[in-house]
Structure 1
Amino acid sequence: MVLMFLTGNNVLSLTRQQIKNSGKLLKKTCMPKNDVSEDQVGSIDQGNFIEERNVMCYIACVYSMGQVVKNNKINHDAMIKQVDMMAPPEMKDPLKVAIAKCKGVAKKHKDICDASYWTAKCLYEADPLNFRIRKWTVFISSLNSFNTKMEQKDLSLLILFIVIACSDSMTRQQIKNAAKLIKKNCMGKNNVTEDLIGDIEKGKFIEERSVMCYIACVYQMTQIVKNNKISYEASIKQVQINYPPEMKEAMLVSIEHCRSTPKKYKDICESAYWTAKCIYEDNPENFLFA
């Protein structure tokens, strides 16, 4: 019942495996949108670029969701920025060299599907070793720039995926830094000010409907809400996966102590509010919130 996710607001290099793992959701999203099969796109990272329209547009979908496409064009500055933010140190220079080599490719194609396809192919040929990683680096840091046009459900799924994919425990500061995106999103959705929700982590729970629904929004976007109810199992799982070792046991105990609180309320806003308040009162030292 706390925030545990990784986003571009938290400027930390990811490991190769974390970046590789995090590509799965993006792939799952773009495949049906473009009616492609695993046979068509499953070995792109090994250099198998099938020159078919739906494959080209699948790659464009990946780049679009990764915020590499700006105004329907490939944006190489965005690629460089994301490499600087997220790539492991040993990969930054070769990735930048490959991006520089392929900078002119997209300009040869007015169609974004064509431009994306031939840019990706160029990047692979320039640096096949790191191509798999580069393809998904754009996805990780893009969470920083998703706006309110994105459906809450879609954003929460992206965040949840990163929670699962990046299974190394985070520090307290990392978790707090990573909360900024959800806070911004949920403040706008519930018309609350910093004065109303800015000190929740310090135990200031203002009993107003907008504040209650803000807390519910945070829980929904971190997938703690299932079927419009607070999920005890999801809360436990996230603490086990992401909380710093020195905080896990205490938080698991608090979640257990407050397990019955959501059952007292049919309304998800009230349920979320009183659950968060219960956890804070049980364990203020380890309570973290957006």
Structure 2
Amino acid sequence: MRLLLSFALCTFFLYRETEGAMSEAQMKAALKLLRNVCQPKNKATNEQIDAMHRGDWNQDRNGMCYMHCILSMYKLITKENKFDWQAGLTAIEVQAPDSIKETAIHGINSCKDSVKTPSDKCIAAFEIAHCFYLDNPDAYFLP
């Protein structure tokens, strides 16, 4: 599994550097891969993840740590548990399909200072993801 993930991430970053933005299908595949890696690692249930997509952010530690895994894979959270919004902007500008660029950039800018609890990596990631959702629930794109 680790080898598959490493290969997928390397392919993802090489593609980014050589080809430009991903297609919608490639974006969905990348999100599915991240969910398939982070969900079992953090014991988050389908119900928990689906609840976040519906706006129910009443999560236990597993759901919060799932979001940390997702943001870590995207390299959007620093070792100090701060949102690396500059890396997010760069990634969106280079990788994202045109259909989500504008709303994703707006969300990143809106959520620059969303971390209120940097002492806990899972809560910090949860705060970032929740901010993305609140910024535009219809355009929430995290897996």
**TM-score interval w.r.t. the shorter chain?**
0.7 to 0.9
Q: Quote the Cα distance in structure 1 between the aligned partners of 2:130 and 2:37.
A: 21
Aligned equivalent of 1:206 = 58
* CA distance in 2 between partners of 1:228 and 1:214 (Å): 18
Q: Confirm or deny: 8 A CA contact 1:155 1:221 kept in the other structure.
A: no
1:228-267 mapped onto 2 (5 Å cutoff): 228-229=80-81, 230-267=83-120
Are 1:251 and 1:283, in contact at CA under 8 Å, matched by a contact in 2? no
Across the two proteins, how many residue pairs are aligned to each other? 142
**Rounded Cα–Cα distance in structure 1 between residues aligned with 2:135 and 2:80:** 24
The 5-angstrom pairing of residues 101-112 of structure 1 reads none
Residue type at the aligned position of 1:278: C
2:11, 2:53 → 1: CA distance? 21
CA contact (8 A) 2:24 2:97 kept: yes
Measure how far apart 1:209 and its partner are: 0.5
Partner of 2:21: 169
Deviation at 1:180, TM superposition (A): 1.7
Pairwise CA RMSD of aligned residues? 2.6
Distance 1:182 1:223 in 2: 12
- The separation in 1 between residues aligned to 2:30 and 2:8, in whole angstroms, is 13
CA distance in 2: counterparts of 1:224 and 1:156, whole angstroms: 18
Distance 1:201 1:172 in 2: 19
Tell me if structure 2 keeps the 8 A contact 1:190–1:214.
yes
TM-score norm. by structure 2 comes to 0.82
User: Could you tell me which amino acid in structure 2 is paired with residue 215 of structure 1?
Assistant: M
TM-score (ref. length: structure 1): 0.43
Deviation of 1:226 after TM superposition, in Å, equals 2.7
Equivalent residue number for residue 178 of structure 1: 30
Cα distance in 2 for partners of 1:157, 1:174 equals: 12
Cα displacement (A) at 1:221: 1.2
Shift of 1:163: 5.4
Q: Which runs of 4+ in 1 moved over 4 A?
A: 154-157
Structure 1 alignment gaps of length 5 or more: 1-146
Residue deviations 1:11-32 (CA, integer Å, cap 9, x gap): xxxxxxxxxxxxxxxxxxxxxx
TM-superposed CA distance for 1:224, in Å, is 1.5
Paired-residue identity, % = 25
Contact 1:196 1:211 in 2 (8 A): yes
Residue identity in the other structure for 1:168: G
In 1, Cα distance between equivalents of 2:142 and 2:17 = 21
TM superposition shift of 1:263:
4.8
Q: Following the alignment from structure 1 to structure 2, what is the Cα–Cα distance between the partners of residues 155 and 200?
A: 29
1:270-285 maps to which residues of 2 (within 5 A)?
270-285=123-138
CA separation of 1:283 and 1:186: change in aligned 2, threshold 3 A: same
Structure 1 residue aligned with 2:141: 288
Partners of 2:15 and 2:124 lie apart in 1 by 24
Q: Deviations over 1:42-83 (max 9, x none)?
A: xxxxxxxxxxxxxxxxxxxxxxxxxxxxxxxxxxxxxxxxxx
Change in 2 beyond 3 A, CA 1:205/1:162: farther
Counterparts of 2:9 and 2:80 in 1: how far apart (Å)?
Answer: 15
Q: Which has the larger radius of gyration?
A: 1
Mark the CA change 1:206 to 1:174 in structure 2 (over 3 Å): closer, same or farther. farther
